[in-house]
Amino acid sequence: MELHSSFSSSSSPPAMSPESCCVKVAVNVRPLIGDELAQGCRECVSFSPVTPQVQMGTHSFTFDHVYGSKGSPSSLMFEECVAPLVDGLFHGYNATVLAYGQTGSGKTYAMGTAFKDGTNSGLIPQVMSALFNKIDSLKHQTGFQLHVSFIEILKEEVLDLLDSVPFNRLANGTPGKVGLSKSPVQIRESPNGEITLSGATEVSIATKEEMASCLEKGSLTRATGSTNMNNQSSRSHAIFTITLEQTRKICSSSEVKDSVDEDMGEEYCCAKLHLVDLAGSERAKRTGSSGVRMKEGIHINRGLFALGNVISALGDEKKRKEGAHVPYRDSKLTRLLQDSLGGNSKTVMIACISPADINAEETLNTLKYANRARNIQNKPVANKDLIGSEVQKMRQQLQYLQAALSARGETPSEEVLVLREKIMKLETANEELSRELHFYRSKIAPLDYCDITAHEDGVSFPKDDGLKRGFESMDSDYEMSEATSGVISEDIDRESKEWEHALRQNNMGNELDELSKRLEEKESEMKVCGVGTETIRQHFEKKMMELEKEKRTVQVERDLLLAEVEKLAASSDRQAQVARDNHAQKLKSLETQISDLKMKQENQVEASKQKQKSEDAAKRLQAEIQCIKAQKVQLQQKMKQEAEQFRQWKASQEKEFLQLKKEGRKTEHERLKLEALTRRQKMVLHRKTEEATMATKRLKELLESRKPSPRDTSVTANGQVPTRQVNEKTLRKWVDNELEVMAKVHQVRFQYEKQMQVRAALAEELNSLKREINFASSPHQEKNGQFRFLSPNTRLERIASLEGMLDVSSNALTAMASQLSEAEEREHNLHAKTRWNHVQSMTNAKCLLQYVFNSAAEARCKMWEKDVDIKEKKEQINDLLIEM
């Protein structure tokens, strides 16, 4: 049973008697957002790791909670700050959640005022969930009635955001109604001092969805207004109010036994929860650039100004004790929040800040403002009509039990278990990864030594020196930056290409030699076998013919002889016998002659056949020679071609190299130029920050040395020996001091703005350089600015120095912002009414007036002189320019 759980203090307050509790203040630091990141902003707020503290420069503030950034996670904000208020509602305690901070600091985000269906971030949606959960759990014993209203205060007009007749904003920003306009929303104070809104729509709510739709509807109306009105939302306060009414039967302790005692009566309680998204707290833009830039007298937003005063009045213990007037009635906002601040409400302020250095001044103001609000003492009282003492007792008991239960704290062990499991998982993953790493390492090792003499197409590649060197250098420079290793791999490429070319040429040369040699051989062979084939043939033919002729002659001779022999045989005389013998002999020799000739002829035929064969061989040889010749020509052409290609490649390489060299020179030049620029910029920055530091220091001194105030002196003077002289002198000194403060504030503000510009320029360049790094692979993406040739190293150097300068600038800005904020606070305290308080007599006033008059006159004269001087200087410059 949650019914009796108490709100926050350990002992529940007696009914109707106010308890005292301070306004709780939580700081919500949002992360740096798009625009700030784009401007290269630094975080200028730091956090204490143990206490909820925020530091900025020399300032340190303690709050109840610090969320976001390095504080607690923002998700805890609801649970720690707002959930107790929702609980309190059920006990009749009014509550207020105020989101304060400059525009863009995350108020709407934190509150969830810009609600869209489906989103559950922001406090209001979480409030709705918690509220309805609790109602669900209690509805069987308690009757609930819920109402919501949603209003906006814009330029001191209360606008109803839930009005079904939408208001129409006029061009000048004043809201006007169209159609059947209802009377405007009025703030009323009931006789018992309760503040109510008359005329604002109060929607009765039954479900969470209905409430969400009201929030959404109101947000839309507000948002539409803001687009129409050039972001008027940052000038308007939005208040979403949930009213919870409960009627509960009061029963005796017998309730536990399910028998309700009707006689105990009913308890009625009603409580309101205001969820306020305040207007942006940033100071309105300072007026024109001429004249002393004094803090703007007119506060554009009266509500915030009044709220500041109310907080000051309530937060200052001395003032509170003195019973000083709290100016609630100065604005509609403060009237509406009268109960929330110093009254019957439990209040939480969420101070939203941006951590960016460019917002340092506003952030500091917010922190101061919020810190002051912490001192406000509220007196919340349970708005109940009747409360059973029995219930009270039970509530105490339950609370006691709950405290005991939470003291045991069983939740952390669960968390520990989950974490332990996570650790175990991570450890196993780690082990696996290490194993893999080891495996790959061992795989890489042999690769390092592997022979590059790989065989490709049967050609044995000799280990090339260049190539090897390339690999070696790659190996040793294993951990080099990407850029450098890129260069190395390019080198390797080039060397291996040259080597390949040489190898190819060499191979082709060898081939050519081979061919030439073969050609030579063939040709000599040809010479041997093919010399004068034709003449030989003719010679053979002639010889054959001769032989034939000779054979024939011999045959004829033989035939003649034969005939004679026959004739002689017939005569058969001695003489004839002798002649016959002679003839026979002759015949015989002729026969041998013939057979000789025949043989010769046969030989001749054989030789001729042989000859034919060798002729064929010669022909083949000839063809081969032709072929080899063609091959040779082809190879030569190929070699030439290859050489030409290589030459071209080499030339392009050389050109590229020259280009690179040129670019290298350019880069070097740019680098030197940049170095000089950086030096110059650093000097200027140094000078500017130095000036700013001096001015800031002086301002600080002035602000701190207000101790011997004229009032003190005049009191002493009045109390003791009041000499007119001393008094006058002191007054003059005081006015001088005031004027100097004014001038110094102006100077610091001026330098602050200059520094902002410097910072912005630095950040812009830094950003574009960082972008270039991302596009470094495609050089054409580089900005066409003056530093197009920045080499990666130069760029990194420049980035480093820019970062350094940004840090310096950021620190200077924060320091200046700090003093400006102090000065502003002082100015605020020295409000027109109090500034002249200590000028107590007419004589004093006249003296002072005379003095002020004199110094004003003097200043004017000096200004005139300076004007003249400037004019003259300008003329001189013009003359010089003409001469040039």
Pick out the residues of the known binding site: 101-108
Name the residue among 322, 314, 371 with its Cα closest to residue 345. Answer: 314
**Using CB distances below 5 to 8 A depending on partner kind, what does residue 175 bind out of Mg ion, ligand ADP, none?**
none
Alpha helices in 39-102 (DSSP H): 76-77, 83-89
**Using CB distances below 5 to 8 A depending on partner kind, what does residue 31 bind out of Mg ion, ligand ADP, none?**
ligand ADP
Q: Is residue 606 a contact partner of residue 544, using CB atoms and an 8 Å limit?
A: no
DSSP β-bridge partners for residue 157: 154
Q: How far apart are CA 790 and CA 797, in angstroms?
A: 10
**What is the DSSP secondary structure assignment for residue 78, as one 8-state letter?**
I
**Using CB distances below 5 to 8 A depending on partner kind, what does residue 101 bind out of Mg ion, ligand ADP, none?**
ligand ADP
Name the residue among 187, 152, 155, 150 with its Cα closest to residue 170. Answer: 155
Q: Which is nearer to ligand ADP, 57 or 280 (CB)?
A: 280
**Nearest-5° Cα angle at 647, 642 to 651:** 150
Q: DSSP states of 663-710 as a string?
A: HHHHHHHHHHHHHHHHHHHHHHHHHHHHHHHHHHHHHHHHHHTT-S-H
Q: Which is nearer to ligand ADP, 67 or 734 (CB)?
A: 67
The amino acid at residue 884 is M
Q: Which is nearer to Mg ion, 108 or 714 (CB)?
A: 108
Signed CA dihedral, 603, 604, 609, 610: sign only: positive
Signed CA dihedral, 741, 747, 753, 759: sign only: negative
Residues 6+ apart with CB under 8 A from 287: 293, 296
Q: Closest separation between CB of residue 333 and Mg ion, Å?
A: 15
State which of positions 549-608 bind ligand ADP (CB under 6 A): none
Residue 512 CA, distance from chain mean position: 64
Q: Give the one residue of 104, 112, 342, 388 binding ligand ADP; rule: CB under 6 A.
A: 104
Q: How far apart are CA 45 and CA 62, in angstroms?
A: 13
Q: Give the one residue of 39, 69, 74, 108 binding Mg ion; rule: CB under 5 A.
A: 108
Q: Candidates 11-19, 98-106, 124-132, 768-776 — which segment interacts with ligand ADP by CB under 6 A? A: 98-106
Q: Closest separation between CB of residue 308 and ligand ADP, Å?
A: 17
Q: Candidates 106-114, 267-275, 408-416, 812-820 — which segment interacts with ligand ADP by CB under 6 A? A: 106-114
State which of positions 52-81 bind ligand ADP (CB under 6 A): 68, 74
Residues 6+ apart with CB under 8 A from 399: 4, 5, 6, 10, 12
Q: Which is nearer to Mg ion, 220 or 742 (CB)?
A: 220
Q: Closest separation between CB of residue 352 and ligand ADP, Å?
A: 6
Q: How far apart are CA 310 and CA 369, in angstroms?
A: 11
Q: Closest separation between CB of residue 357 and ligand ADP, Å?
A: 17
Q: Closest separation between CB of residue 233 and Mg ion, Å?
A: 6
Q: Closest separation between CB of residue 99 and ligand ADP, Å?
A: 7
Q: Closest separation between CB of residue 335 and ligand ADP, Å?
A: 23
Q: Is residue 714 a contact partner of residue 789, using CB atoms and an 8 Å limit?
A: no
Q: How far apart are CA 696 and CA 701, in angstroms?
A: 9
Q: Give the one residue of 12, 94, 96, 108 binding ligand ADP; rule: CB under 6 A.
A: 108
Q: Which is nearer to ligand ADP, 101 or 303 (CB)?
A: 101
Q: Which is nearer to ligand ADP, 224 or 577 (CB)?
A: 224
Q: Closest separation between CB of residue 35 and ligand ADP, Å?
A: 9
Q: Which is nearer to ligand ADP, 105 or 689 (CB)?
A: 105
30 binds ligand ADP, rule: CB under 6 A: yes
Q: Is residue 813 a contact partner of residue 358, using CB atoms and an 8 Å limit?
A: yes
Q: Which is nearer to ligand ADP, 74 or 818 (CB)?
A: 74
Question: What does residue 420 show for φ and ψ, rounded to 5 degrees?
Answer: -60, -45
Q: Give the one residue of 65, 107, 274, 346 binding ligand ADP; rule: CB under 6 A.
A: 107
3-class secondary structure, 229: coil
Q: Which is nearer to ligand ADP, 276 or 391 (CB)?
A: 276
State which of positions 268-327 bind ligand ADP (CB under 6 A): 280
State which of positions 225-244 bind ligand ADP (CB under 6 A): 234
Name the residue among 122, 22, 42 with its Cα closest to residue 370. Answer: 22
Q: Candidates 29-37, 165-173, 217-225, 644-652 — which segment interacts with ligand ADP by CB under 6 A? A: 29-37
95-100 vs 266-277, strand pairing mode: parallel
3-class secondary structure, 504: helix
Site string for ligand ADP, 178-217 (x = CB under 6 A): ----------------------------------------
- Axis crossing angle, helix 724-774 with helix 842-883, rounded to the nearest 10: 40
Name the residue among 810, 707, 696 with its Cα closest to residue 759. Answer: 810
The amino acid at residue 70 is K
**Using CB distances below 5 to 8 A depending on partner kind, what does residue 547 bind out of Mg ion, ligand ADP, none?**
none
Q: Candidates 103-111, 256-264, 300-308, 848-856 — which segment interacts with ligand ADP by CB under 6 A? A: 103-111
**With CB under 6 A, what is the number of residues at the site for ligand ADP?**
16
Q: Give the one residue of 5, 103, 247, 516 binding ligand ADP; rule: CB under 6 A.
A: 103
The amino acid at residue 407 is A
Q: Candidates 108-116, 236-244, 366-374, 483-491 — which segment interacts with Mg ion by CB under 5 A? A: 108-116
Half-sphere exposure of 426 (CA within 13 A, CB side): 6
Q: How far apart are CA 164 and CA 170, in angstroms?
A: 18
Question: What does residue 5 show for φ and ψ, rounded to 5 degrees?
Answer: -60, 135
**Using CB distances below 5 to 8 A depending on partner kind, what does residue 33 bind out of ligand ADP, Mg ion, none?**
ligand ADP
State which of positions 484-503 bind ligand ADP (CB under 6 A): none
Q: Closest separation between CB of residue 301 and ligand ADP, Å?
A: 14
Q: How far apart are CA 313 and CA 351, in angstroms?
A: 19
Q: Closest separation between CB of residue 109 and Mg ion, Å?
A: 8
Name the residue among 55, 66, 36 with its Cα closest to residue 356. Answer: 36
**What is the DSSP secondary structure assignment for residue 235, as one 8-state letter?**
G
Q: Give the one residue of 96, 105, 678, 810 binding ligand ADP; rule: CB under 6 A.
A: 105
Q: Closest separation between CB of residue 71 and ligand ADP, Å?
A: 12
Site string for ligand ADP, 673-692 (x = CB under 6 A): --------------------
Q: Closest separation between CB of residue 271 and Mg ion, Å?
A: 26
State which of positions 706-725 bind ligand ADP (CB under 6 A): none
Q: CA distances (Å), 353 to each of 52, 572, 708, in order?
A: 15, 167, 36
Q: Candidates 83-91, 97-105, 602-610, 678-686 — which segment interacts with ligand ADP by CB under 6 A? A: 97-105
Binding site members for ATP: 101-108
Q: Which is nearer to Mg ion, 276 or 597 (CB)?
A: 276
Site string for ligand ADP, 380-399 (x = CB under 6 A): --------------------
Q: Which is nearer to Mg ion, 239 or 805 (CB)?
A: 239
Q: CA distances (Å), 366 to each of 23, 68, 360, 370, 817, in order?
A: 16, 16, 10, 6, 12
101 binds ligand ADP, rule: CB under 6 A: yes
105 binds Mg ion, rule: CB under 5 A: no
Q: Is residue 226 a contact partner of residue 218, using CB atoms and an 8 Å limit?
A: no
End-to-end Cα spacing for the chain: 94
222 binds ligand ADP, rule: CB under 6 A: no
Q: Closest separation between CB of residue 38 and ligand ADP, Å?
A: 13
By the criterion CB under 6 A, which residues form the site for ligand ADP?
A: 30-31, 33, 68, 74, 101, 103-109, 234, 280, 352
Q: Tell me which residues touch Mg ion (CB under 5 A).
A: 107-108
